[in-house]
Amino acid sequence: MDPRVEIILEVIRKDLAQVPTAAKLSELVNISTSRFYELFKAEMRTSPARYRKTINMEAAKVLSETTLLSVKEIAVKTGFNDLSHFVRDFKKHYGVTPTEYRKRNYAFNLQVQSDAGASRRIGQ
């Protein structure tokens, strides 16, 4: 992979709440904005915006499964300032709202963790 794209990916993943512009990202690796788009799309087979949204949605899913943060807090931590936009995008991506997803998956994860803890205690 092109090292410039690796740098860009690292910056994108580093702080999901910050949304650096294409101009800032291209400046970071010393290329024009148009070259940035070409290079990113060639390496990642998707646009920078779509890649970022996918990364943010995956992070939101993990936070829903593993924390008790509110949906609004998850939205903010994953770069969404508009809660309704976040809920709409989450539902489009996963087929359910963040609240419905949490109801289905947070309890499941607690049960799996509880079962794993019980297994470790029995095996000791």
Whether 66 and 94 map to the same domain: the answer is: yes
CB 17 within 8 A of CB 74: no
| pTM score above 0.85 | no
Domain count, the chain: 2
Residue 61 belongs to domain with CATH number: 1.10.10.60
Please tell me the distance from the alpha carbon of residue 51 to that of residue 77, in angstroms, as a whole number.
17
Tell me the pLDDT of the chain (124 aa) as tens digits. 899 999 999 998 888 888 788 999 999 999 999 999 999 999 999 999 899 999 999 999 999 998 989 999 999 999 998 999 999 999 999 999 999 999 888 765 555 555 555 444 445 5
Whether 83 and 103 map to the same domain: the answer is: yes
CB 55 within 8 A of CB 13: yes
